[in-house]
Amino acid sequence: MSTYTVPFVINGEERRVEKTFDVTSPATGKVLHKCGIATEEDVVAAIAAAEIAGEKWRNSPAAERRDILLKAADIMDKRRDELAGYMMDEVGAQRGWADFNLNLVIDMYKDVAGRVGAIEGTVPPCQPGLTSIVVKEPYGVVLAIAPWNASYILGTRSVLFPIAAGCTVVFKGSETAPRTHRAIVSVLAEAGLPKGVVNYIVTDPAHASSVTEALIANMSVKKINFTGSTAVGRIIAKLAGQHLKPVVLELGGKAPAIVWEDANLDLAAEQTALGAFFFSGQICMSTERIIVHKKVSKAFQEKLLATLEKMFPSKGEALVLINANGVDKNKKLIKDALSKGASLLNGNIDAEESSKTRMRPIVVSKVTPDMDLYKTESFGPSVSLIEVESEEEALRIANDTEYGLTSAVFTEDLRVGLRIARGIETGAVHINNMTIHDEMTLPHGGAKASGYGRFNTLTGVEEWVRTKTITWRN
């Protein structure tokens, strides 16, 4: 077992505390290292450091911020093997998923670096005798909370957009991936980010509630971003509301993929399989419901099952989930559905795998609204298949959920695809592509209980500035 303990970073200095918790590998169950447990004392120190650093950082030249971000992109690429290793160890990621994270983050740094100088004010017309300007100013200290699953993507964006806008950050990392998230701060420090601009703390589940409340309640914290489950997002939003603080939330999903009667079924099978089971289905954008036209349902099912066997062979290793609870949740949802009349198309929920954190892809058909699987986000390797006969029925089922993050449509008729896309209440719709899609030129965020606010593009940067109106008498 490693004797390494993941430290906090406050005002550019590593901070080690007496109390720690073990961080274990979901793939092997072995202890990887330890991590410190932050308390309210660490919260106060981190916020104070961010507030002091903000006095200079908010007035830093756009070119200075740009150059730091560009350098961070280069460092991330040079340290690729090291950084990928942390993520593979802590969250059970395959190298492909780790590289997907790193590649997107490198692009993220470069894209945001080019947008730093695009924050502009205005000179609106005013009444006779007065002149006005509207300037955009950084909020100040931002609280950033990111999850473990897309560790580098979600962790980096939580701090990158605020610091690009001139804010400083207290980054509360995931207790599941603390070394991975610590590496994000390390990259920025190596790139020359001034001390105190990003401060990093982690705590264990037992202290998460008190530490988070202390962070949100502190008067110096001006805005919050949280990515994670809808259940926790509701708590964050409630706390923020009590203290009248704005929040950007990117929460859970129950993404539908509609396979229409004229779809390219080979493409649809490939993309829905990837969308449902990439990283064991532990992505907020994962395909949870395949809504297929009855005319092509049988042919599609045959192609889907063949694709699954090719991608995830039954004689290969089962997929790894972050913990045994994820496996138990999925099996419980599937058993409930089967007990109420659903059919198992692929997989065996009673299969014994090499560890309790492993599970193979499951496809369930004849899923109906009275089943828990119909509306509950599984966040694991299971997907529902539901047959429809009309666009109206497809849209009704696609929208019959509290979530609204992303979706997909498969059709060879762009007019049909666009018409269906306009009818789905989600933050994104991908025609002839899987539901998992994120790139820097596209705003990213959800509708309904999948959250509000946007990451990416200039919109993502301007989430972290507010307008100030200044007038003067001529």
The residues assigned a catalytic role are 250, 284
Residues in the chain: 474
Supply 6's token pair. Answer: 């993941």
Could you tell me if 95 and 27 are in contact, meaning their C-beta atoms sit under 8 angstroms apart? no
Q: Is 379 exposed, middle or buried (0-12, 13-18, 19+ CB in 10 A)?
A: buried
Residues 376, 335: Cα–Cα separation, whole Å: 14
Pairing of strands 168-172, 20-24: unpaired
* 354: CB partners within 8 A, 6+ apart: 317, 318
CA–CA distance, 244 with 221 (Å, rounded to integer): 11
The gap from C-alpha 60 to its chain's centroid, in whole angstroms, comes to 29
Q: Is residue 424 within 8 Å of 271, Cβ to Cβ?
A: no
Contact 364, 324 (CB under 8 A): no
Instruction: List CB contacts of 111: < 8 A, sequence separation 6 or more.
Output: 440, 441
CA distance 161 to 461: 5
The span from the CA of 410 to the CA of 331, in Å, is 29
What one-character DSSP code corresponds to residue 279? G
Nearest to 62, CA basis, from 408, 456, 461: 461
Judge contact between 233 and 224, C-beta under 8 A: no
CB 90 within 8 A of CB 25: yes
Q: What is the DSSP letter of 172?
A: E
Helix, strand or coil, per DSSP, at residue 338: helix
Using the CB atoms, write b or e for 230-248: b if 16+ within 10 Å. Answer: bebbebbbebbeeeebebb
Q: How far is CA 452 from CA 98, 237, 443, in A?
A: 27, 11, 12
Q: Distance between CA atoms of 462 and 457, rounded to whole angstroms?
A: 9
